[in-house]
Amino acid sequence: DADVTQTPRNRITKTGKRIMLECSQTKGHDRMYWYRQDPGLGLRLIYYSFDVKDINKGEISDGYSVSRQAQAKFSLSLESAIPNQTALYFCATSGPEALTDTQYFGPGTRLTVL
Protein backbone atom coordinates (compact mmCIF):
# COMPACT_ATOMS: atom_id res chain seq x y z
CA ASP A 1 0.00 0.00 0.00
CA ALA A 2 1.12 3.52 -0.76
CA ASP A 3 2.40 5.56 2.18
CA VAL A 4 0.59 8.74 1.10
CA THR A 5 -2.82 8.44 -0.50
CA GLN A 6 -5.11 11.04 -1.96
CA THR A 7 -8.79 10.86 -2.81
CA PRO A 8 -10.30 11.42 -5.25
CA ARG A 9 -7.70 11.00 -7.97
CA ASN A 10 -9.75 12.92 -10.47
CA ARG A 11 -12.63 15.30 -9.99
CA ILE A 12 -14.67 17.50 -12.27
CA THR A 13 -16.87 20.10 -10.62
CA LYS A 14 -18.71 23.28 -11.44
CA THR A 15 -18.02 26.86 -10.49
CA GLY A 16 -19.39 27.69 -7.06
CA LYS A 17 -19.41 24.14 -5.73
CA ARG A 18 -17.69 23.16 -2.50
CA ILE A 19 -15.19 20.38 -2.83
CA MET A 20 -12.91 18.53 -0.45
CA LEU A 21 -9.69 16.74 -1.30
CA GLU A 22 -8.41 14.23 1.22
CA CYS A 23 -4.96 13.04 2.12
CA SER A 24 -3.97 10.17 4.38
CA GLN A 25 -0.54 8.90 5.32
CA THR A 26 0.82 5.85 7.07
CA LYS A 27 4.37 7.15 7.48
CA GLY A 28 3.75 8.46 10.98
CA HIS A 29 4.94 11.91 9.96
CA ASP A 30 3.88 15.04 11.82
CA ARG A 31 4.30 17.54 9.01
CA MET A 32 1.87 17.64 6.11
CA TYR A 33 1.62 19.98 3.15
CA TRP A 34 -0.72 20.81 0.29
CA TYR A 35 0.69 22.04 -3.02
CA ARG A 36 -0.83 22.79 -6.38
CA GLN A 37 0.91 22.21 -9.68
CA ASP A 38 0.27 24.30 -12.75
CA PRO A 39 2.08 23.83 -16.07
CA GLY A 40 5.24 25.91 -16.20
CA LEU A 41 4.94 27.03 -12.59
CA GLY A 42 6.16 24.04 -10.65
CA LEU A 43 4.50 23.35 -7.31
CA ARG A 44 3.29 26.11 -5.03
CA LEU A 45 2.51 25.80 -1.34
CA ILE A 46 -1.12 26.25 -0.28
CA TYR A 47 -1.16 25.23 3.40
CA TYR A 48 0.99 23.29 5.80
CA SER A 49 0.54 21.72 9.21
CA PHE A 50 3.12 20.65 11.76
CA ASP A 51 0.62 18.84 13.98
CA VAL A 52 -3.10 18.61 14.59
CA LYS A 53 -3.29 22.00 16.28
CA ASP A 54 -0.89 23.81 13.99
CA ILE A 55 -2.19 25.04 10.62
CA ASN A 56 -0.42 27.63 8.52
CA LYS A 57 -0.99 29.43 5.25
CA GLY A 58 1.37 29.08 2.32
CA GLU A 59 1.88 31.42 -0.60
CA ILE A 60 -1.45 30.82 -2.33
CA SER A 61 -3.99 30.08 0.41
CA ASP A 62 -6.75 32.43 -0.81
CA GLY A 63 -9.84 30.46 -1.76
CA TYR A 64 -8.71 27.36 0.16
CA SER A 65 -9.11 26.02 3.67
CA VAL A 66 -7.73 22.94 5.41
CA SER A 67 -8.51 20.62 8.26
CA ARG A 68 -6.11 18.35 10.13
CA GLN A 69 -8.47 15.76 11.53
CA ALA A 70 -5.72 13.53 12.90
CA GLN A 71 -2.00 13.12 12.60
CA ALA A 72 -2.56 10.96 9.55
CA LYS A 73 -5.23 13.02 7.77
CA PHE A 74 -5.08 16.45 6.16
CA SER A 75 -7.93 17.71 3.98
CA LEU A 76 -8.04 20.61 1.56
CA SER A 77 -11.33 22.36 0.81
CA LEU A 78 -12.36 24.74 -1.90
CA GLU A 79 -15.33 26.58 -0.44
CA SER A 80 -16.56 27.93 -3.76
CA ALA A 81 -14.59 26.54 -6.65
CA ILE A 82 -13.59 28.75 -9.56
CA PRO A 83 -12.06 27.80 -12.92
CA ASN A 84 -8.57 29.10 -12.11
CA GLN A 85 -8.39 26.50 -9.35
CA THR A 86 -8.18 23.86 -12.05
CA ALA A 87 -4.86 22.19 -11.30
CA LEU A 88 -3.10 19.11 -10.03
CA TYR A 89 -3.06 19.01 -6.24
CA PHE A 90 -0.46 17.18 -4.20
CA CYS A 91 -0.28 16.29 -0.56
CA ALA A 92 3.14 15.71 0.99
CA THR A 93 4.50 14.64 4.35
CA SER A 94 7.80 14.96 6.10
CA GLY A 95 9.02 13.41 9.28
CA PRO A 96 11.62 13.49 11.97
CA GLU A 97 14.59 13.93 9.66
CA ALA A 98 14.91 17.30 11.25
CA LEU A 99 17.74 18.64 9.18
CA THR A 100 16.64 17.47 5.81
CA ASP A 101 12.85 17.52 5.67
CA THR A 102 12.65 15.17 2.73
CA GLN A 103 9.06 15.33 1.59
CA TYR A 104 7.09 12.35 0.33
CA PHE A 105 4.27 12.99 -2.09
CA GLY A 106 0.93 11.42 -2.77
CA PRO A 107 -0.15 10.54 -6.32
CA GLY A 108 -2.08 13.78 -6.79
CA THR A 109 -5.66 14.83 -7.46
CA ARG A 110 -6.49 16.29 -10.84
CA LEU A 111 -9.23 18.87 -10.31
CA THR A 112 -11.16 20.51 -13.13
CA VAL A 113 -13.52 23.37 -12.38
CA LEU A 114 -15.92 24.14 -15.21
Per CB under 8 A, residues contacting other proteins are 4, 31, 33, 35, 40-45, 48, 56, 58, 90, 92, 94, 99-108
Residue number, 17 or 112, with CB nearest to other proteins: 112
How many residues are there in the chain?
114
Nearer to other proteins, 81 or 92 (CB): 92
Is 11 or 31 the residue whose CB approaches other proteins more closely? 31
Distance CA 97, CA 95 (A): 6
Cβ atoms of residues 32 and 23 within 8 Å? yes
- 34 or 81: whose CB is closer to other proteins? 34
Least separation in angstroms between residue 97's CB and other proteins is: 10
User: Which of 27, 20, 52 is closest to 106 using CA atoms?
Assistant: 27
In angstroms, what is the minimal distance from the CB of 5 to other proteins?
Answer: 10
Diameter over CA atoms, the chain: 42
**What letter represents residue 52's amino acid?**
V
Shortest Å, Cβ 26 to other proteins: 15
Provide the minimum distance between the beta carbon of 10 and other proteins in the complex, in angstroms, as a whole number: 10
Which candidate, 112, 86, 106, places its Cα nearest to that of 22? 106
